[in-house]
Amino acid sequence: MISRDSIEEVLAGIRPALRADGGDVELIDFDEEEGLVQVRLTGACGSCPISMMTLRHGIERRLVSNVPGVRAVQAL
């Protein structure tokens, strides 16, 4: 079961590294049926050329491995 709290808990663990580089991540929505989490990368992360790598290899990997039911993360 995907819950907003479980997603936010994982994102809270990621935020210090993003903030150290002048960015952040914001949870927008999640679809429990599809296992899809939607986030917005903000600050320096929003315009960073490697933001998709951060999304896939950092944020998505941690959410998929730590929140049962999450299958993918999409940046808006």
pLDDT band (50, 70, 90) for residue 15: very high
Question: Which residue's entry shows tokens 């990621």?
Answer: 14
Greatest CA span in the chain, whole angstroms? 34
Q: How many domains does the chain have?
A: 1
Please give the residue that has the higher pLDDT: either 10 or 45. Answer: 10
Structural domain boundaries enclosing 69? 4-75
Question: Over 80: is that where the pLDDT of 11 sits?
Answer: yes
- Quote the pLDDT of residue 67: 97
CATH of the domain at 8: 3.30.300.130
Q: Write out pLDDT tens, residues 34-54.
A: 999 999 999 998 888 999 999
- Position 1 pLDDT exceeds 80: no
Q: Are 13 and 62 in contact (CB under 8 A)?
A: yes
pLDDT of res. 48: 86
- Return d(Cα 43, Cα 26) in angstroms, integer: 11
